[in-house]
Structure 1
Amino acid sequence: MASLKELEALERQEQAAVIEWWSWCCRRFGLEPYDLLHIPNEGTGSAVRGRLQKKQGLRPGCPDLMLTAPVGAHHGLFVEMKRSRTGRPSREQLDFHARLEERGYAVAVCYGATEARVAIARYLRGEAG
């Protein structure tokens, strides 16, 4: 079984694959590369850095990616990346997702780059939520 550190590394790799895919296909959707962005909200392990990040707006539960394109009734799409099928959103993440949805955003929890690409494409075709 993979360690937490290995799973985090794999999740970063999957997320990087989504961004790479987006960089070459975004124009197909009439959008720009910067329309999909990473929200650097992961912990660092250092208490000092953690306090600094909190002062700078670190919010527990915030999804990993945001697509800033409004589609239909949604203002944008937030994507929570999970590498392992055994990984589940935390209570903080579920609460954050619910607040986003209440405010008119779509949210997708995706297990790997392939699911994230499918969720983004479906959202942009107006098939989300």
Structure 2
Amino acid sequence: MKIKKPLKEDQIQSNFVSIYRMRYPDIPIHADSSGVRLTIGSAMKMKRMGRLTGWPDLFIPKPVKSYHGLFIEMKTPDGDVSPEQKEMHAYLLSVGYYVTVCRSVQEAMDAVHKYFNA
């Protein structure tokens, strides 16, 4: 019997985005490129162009009740949220965005459903 390897963070995110886009084709979802490996030169260029440390992986620009939109930080089941991410999440919450950390496709879909139906 072949043992299944756990999904990597980018695989969880890609699977979630595919399902999300099928389920909600009229509500955009945007992915931040911070999880992409870059050369030092490209990373410096992106920082000059406005890339921020700690920015969540995904954004859904749909206001619901008192929130301006939904940010999702994707992690593996054993992945840690960095101090920079915690700080950014706290800031985004303080200015009216909903922020959640999800560790599976199902958890992310549940978070979206909960947010849209709040």
Q: Secondary structure at the match of 2:18?
A: helix
Percent sequence identity is 30
Equivalence for 2:31: 38
Native 8 Å contact 1:43 1:50 kept in 2: no
Aligned residue runs from structure 1 range 8-87, under 5 A: 10-26=8-24, 32-33=26-27, 35-42=28-35, 44-83=37-76, 85-87=77-79
1:114 is displaced (CA, Å) by 1.2
C-alpha separation in 2, matches of 1:91 and 1:43: 19
CA RMSD, Structure 1 to Structure 2 (Å) = 1.8
Structure with the higher helix share, 1 or 2:
1
Show structure 1 runs of 4+ deviating over 4 A: none
The count of aligned residue pairs is: 114
The one-letter code of the counterpart of 1:70 is P
Task: Indicate yes or no: 2:93 matched with 1:101.
Answer: yes
1:42 is displaced (CA, Å) by 2.6
Show structure 2 runs of 5+ residues with no match: none
Native 8 Å contact 1:61 1:94 kept in 2: yes
C-alpha separation in 1, matches of 2:62 and 2:99: 13
C-alpha separation in 1, matches of 2:64 and 2:48: 32
- Normalized against structure 1, the TM-score is what? 0.81
The one-letter code of the counterpart of 1:12 is D
Show structure 1 runs of 5+ residues with no match: 1-5
- Normalized against structure 2, the TM-score is what? 0.88
